[in-house]
Amino acid sequence: MKNEFRKLCLENKKFNRYLFSKKIEKELLKISKDHKNILLFIPLKNEVDIRGVINTLRRQKKNIFVPFMQDLSFKMVKYSLPLKKKKFSILEPLNKNKALEKIDLAIVPIIGMDSEFKRIGFGKGMYDRFFGTLKYKPKVVFLQLRPCISKHKLTNDFDIKADEFISFNVRRKNEHFNRYSRFFFIRSRGIFHNQKDG
């Protein structure tokens, strides 16, 4: 079920990445305003382009961290230039020093989300393993170019859950999730997954 949903979301490719990213960027900067230590990500081509957000927050003297792949998970390192392309075509800083600071905000890319407000990713489990090692709970915001959300539970207990979700023309907190409607998703140019189990 999860794999079928993931495939459905990945087929959802007809969009203007630049336009969608610019609209999402405004919401992301609003959220970041009240946070100091922020985990972001260096975007792939099918993800929200947040490079402008990274540059803006650095000018604002925020502490920006990004994932650095390590075995089956990743460690959090301070963002710095230059970047080097690594496994899965992911760009990473040359800095390999694990950051010891506590983050108060984590911006996490997703492929889709289920009815539990939990993440559907590429299936590698890296974010789940990373957040499973944290002894504290930062605010978690899922980021997606176009909403691809299932009405059903597809995830496991260890999958990470968001406090908030941002996509093109969509921003919802976890407690408001049940207010979604089929009309809303169609209007927002997203996928509303209503396939029955089995």
CA distance 43 to 58: 17
177 domain residue, yes or no: no
Contact in structure between 175 and 161 (CB atoms under 8 Å) = no
3-class SS of residue 101: coil
165 domain residue, yes or no: no
- CA angle, residues 47, 17, 154, in degrees to nearest 5: 40
Mean pLDDT, each 10-residue run in order, the chain (198 residues): 86 81 94 97 93 97 93 89 82 87 96 91 89 94 91 89 90 65 40 47
Model's pTM, two decimal places? 0.85
Q: Specify the pLDDT at position 61.
A: 96
Q: Specify the pLDDT at position 12.
A: 63
Return the CATH number at 142.
3.40.50.10420
Q: Specify the pLDDT at position 190.
A: 47
Q: Specify the pLDDT at position 91.
A: 87
Q: Specify the pLDDT at position 143.
A: 96
49 domain residue, yes or no: yes
3-class SS of residue 124: coil
Provide the residue range defining the domain that includes 134. Answer: 2-112+129-151+186-193
Q: Is the N-terminal amide bond of 93 cis, ω within 30° of 0?
A: no
CA distance 91 to 78: 14
Place of tokens 């905000």: 105
Burial class (CB in 10 A: 0-12, 13-18, 19+), 19: exposed
- How many domains, in total, are found in the chain? 1
